[in-house]
A and B are shown apart, each in its own frame.
Chain A
Amino acid sequence: MTRLLPEGASLRFEGLEQPLQILRALGGGTQGEVYAVRCGAEELALKWYLPACLERDPQLPRRLRQSIALGAPSEAFLWPLALLEPTAESRPLIRHPKAGFGYLMALRPAGFVGAHRHAGGDLEISLQNVLRAGFHLADGFHQLHLKGLCYKDISLGNLFLEPGSGRVLICDNDNVDIDGQGGGSVLGTPGFMAPEVLLGKAKPCASSDQFSLAVLLFRLLTRHDPFRGQRELAIRCLDEPARRRLYGEEALFIFDPGDPGNRPDPEEHAAALVTWPIYPRALQELFEQCFGPGLRQPERRPLTGQWTQQLSRCLDRRQHCPHCSQETFPDPPRPARCWQCGSPLPPPLQLQLNQGRVSATAGNTLHRHHGDPLAPIRLDQPLARFVHHPEDPRLLGLHNLSGEPWPGQLTNGQSFTLAPGKTCNLAALQQLHSSAGPITVLRP
């Protein structure tokens, strides 16, 4: 296939000291093509737009310049680094009469896969890492919105996941703009667009992002779609007019607490019925809020910070079913049963910090926000992690990941110090004094 940029050649761009060597094409879409390029010793990715893009969206270079100047909101974004316009001598090497333009960004690291693979059931990933991915996604949008920006086109197509960690990468950041600036031409992706945008009543903005974020979180957590229930079964040909009804004019959440008119079909929509009961009520309520009152009233949609809070709390409750060893996230006041096998779940041993409780389950982590009310909710810098003893998996311990020694007491009253990098056996632990405040063992 003929490409716009000549592979192997070195091209020079305005304002860039070094030439970029075009290494190989990574992909192409309706907007343009992406290449791996070498810039000095570094390998980067280059997105080159088809000239038709600029004709349709003349604000594109302005938005990219603005984003480059503002910098990435967080590490979750594959953010534009530099705008590229070819120099006069490089223009003839580009295989199009109008040379076009592009931008540089970091290469997507190996190990990240498209979120559609998860939605399509074609990815091995733990529930913990799906919830972490949801957290990182919501946190990315939290940081983006805090910068006064909006993304406008959230969908499965521009999210990548690392299945072994739950880290995410948000790509295609070229529609990002200052919230409320109506310059761009993108409307979003049907199935993810807020109803008012889908129906042409509003332009994408931060509150329509909140809706699209909730749809994407629902797709990640349930492998189903929030609006595909009985009403979808009545649609023979799922085309654009049908999507406008399903996601706009007649949208009804499949788990709407007040209107059962669009419940999932046990055969066609089994995924939703299996996965929805996994999650605690507080998380379900955010979806009910966003897809209920928030459907028509943008100001009633949950904020990004509410999602990060409830997703992190859900992770704190993670507990294995003693019968089938599935991951569960029990709601404390409700009698806990495993969502998979129905066995009763014993109350877990928990650690109490000033701001929260974490169940003692291997792989669960303690963070600064569990102790410090002023610390932002983050998952990427754990203070401690629950681990099994390397030789005796029946023993569960707390591994100090901080750089500081933590003084503590054992159940027999004896004092000790948990040095950085060391693990203490929970069976004998009473209390620790961490850099984020006291940690007390709560036995069931």
Chain B
Amino acid sequence: MPFPNVRLSNRPLHFIYLCDCSGSMAAQGKMQALNQAIRQSLPGMAEVAGNNPEARVLVRAVRFADRAEWHLQEPTPVQQLQWRDLEAGGITAMGEALELLAGVLQSPPMEERALPPVLVLISDGQPTDDFEAGLATLMRQPWAQKAVRLAIALGHDADLEVLQQFIGPEPPGGGRSPRRPLQASNATSLAQYIQWASTAVVGAASMPASQVQGAAAGNIPLPDLPPTVLDPTDDVGPLVW
């Protein structure tokens, strides 16, 4: 006879992308790279979700350009998610995007009990609306305060200060940290960061990973960033001689 058909009750883990779709995202294939990076990350994310019996991973996405709007409004189980391409065009209503986000992080519609949400803000430029007001509205929500907030800066024109404000206080010391904006200078590093956020961070937020001494404090210890892997063309020897 099989083991009784019961299981540990799980909690929802809301994972929400906030994607800059302003006109500048059309340049240098950035919009396509972001669409690809998210699409490519889904199988790995589904696997992590499957490995974490304590979590029900649900994905949503907000796009912001002239206005902010839901690109994927329904919280969708990652296993069923099919990513629809984002399109670029307009300015950067980042503040409005945060207001929109604040609306869904209040209870209801948020469940009474959940795992910490994971919010990923991706931008290549400067907000053109009242970012401060949007952030203030967002941070009044307890679920936003509890959330793991990550930011990815695409290219060199992204406003790192604004992204840092979204994440929270900057950690002391220098160097790369998940509590600083992650700077993606090309499609490969963007894909790595998206992959990292959708797998390692989702894992950490849903089921605690093994911990080591001196791990950074916070309500969710964040996993190490992906290593800076050398470009594969680096190991073929000199390219021209």
Contacts and interface: CB of A to CB of B under 8 A. Distances in A.
Interface of A: 1-4, 6, 29-30, 50-52, 56-57, 92-93, 95-97, 114, 116-127, 130, 153, 155, 157, 185-191, 193, 219, 223-225, 228, 233, 235-241, 243, 268-271, 274-275, 278, 320, 325-327, 340
Contacts of B112: 236
19 contacts: A95-B232, A96-B227, A121-B5, A124-B3, A153-B210, A155-B210, A185-B212, A186-B212, A189-B209, A224-B8, A237-B142, A237-B146, A237-B219, A238-B114, A240-B221, A269-B9, A271-B7, A320-B1, A325-B1
B2 interface: yes
What 4 A-B pairs come out closest when comparing CB atoms?
A121-B7, A120-B53, A271-B6, A190-B208
Given A2-B232, A269-B9, A127 B210 contact: no
A186 B208 CA distance: 13
Contacts of A241: 219
Contact of B209 (A30, A120, A219): A30
B53 A116 contact: yes
A439 to B, nearest CB: 27
Contacts of B82: none
A51 B116 CA distance: 29
A52 B212 contact: no
A3 to B, nearest CB: 8
A116 B52 contact: yes
B214 interface: yes
Nearest to A114: B51
Contacts of A326: 1
Nearest to B117: A237
A1 B1 contact: no
Given A95-B234, A116-B53, A191-B208, A238 B11 contact: yes
B4 interface: yes
Nearest to A340: B4
Contacts of B7: 119-122, 223, 271
A271 B8 contact: yes
B84 interface: no
B188 interface: yes
B230 A97 contact: yes
Given A124-B2, A125-B3, A325-B1, A236 B113 contact: yes
B99 to A, nearest CB: 22
A243 B221 CA distance: 12
B3 A189 contact: no
B220 interface: yes
Contacts of A56: 212, 214
B139 to A, nearest CB: 15
A270 B7 CA distance: 8
Q: Chain A CB within 10 Å — which of B9, B114, B195, B229 has the most?
A: B9
B143 interface: yes
B157 interface: no
Q: Chain A CB within 10 Å — which of B4, B112, B114, B223 has the most?
A: B4
A191 B115 CA distance: 15
Give chain A's interface secondary structure class: loop
A3 B188 CA distance: 12
A188 B211 contact: yes
Contact of B1 (A50, A96, A235, A327): A327
Interface in B174-209: 188, 191-192, 195, 200, 207-209
Nearest to A50: B227
Nearest to A271: B6
Interface in B42-58: 50-53
Given A121-B53, A271-B8, A189 B210 contact: yes
A93 B232 CA distance: 10
Contact of B212 (A51, A57, A117, A127): A57
Contacts of B1: 126-127, 320, 325-327
Given A95-B234, A125-B3, A187-B212, A238 B8 contact: no
B213 interface: yes
A56 B112 CA distance: 38
Nearest to B111: A236
Interface string B219-241: 11101100111111011000000
Contacts of A270: 6, 9
Contact of A2 (B5, B9, B188): B188
Nearest to B116: A239
Contacts of B235: 6, 92-93, 95
A116 B208 CA distance: 13
Nearest to A124: B2
B218 interface: yes
A308 B1 CA distance: 23
Contacts of B51: 114, 116, 157
B227 A51 contact: yes
A95 B227 CA distance: 10
Contacts of A57: 212
Contacts of B142: 236-237
Contact of B210 (A120, A122, A157, A275): A157
Interface in B1-23: 1-9, 11
Nearest to B223: A30
Contacts of A114: 51
B219 A240 contact: yes
B57 to A, nearest CB: 13
Contacts of A157: 51, 207, 209-210
Given A116-B52, A223-B4, A271-B4, 10 more contacts: A2-B229, A51-B227, A52-B227, A96-B228, A118-B3, A189-B211, A239-B219, A241-B219, A270-B9, A327-B1
Given A126-B2, A187-B212, A237 B114 contact: yes
Given A237-B115, A240-B218, A187 B229 contact: no
A137 B25 CA distance: 53
Contact of B6 (A121, A193, A233): A121
Nearest to B145: A237
A151 to B, nearest CB: 11
B220 A187 contact: no
A188 B210 contact: yes
B196 to A, nearest CB: 9
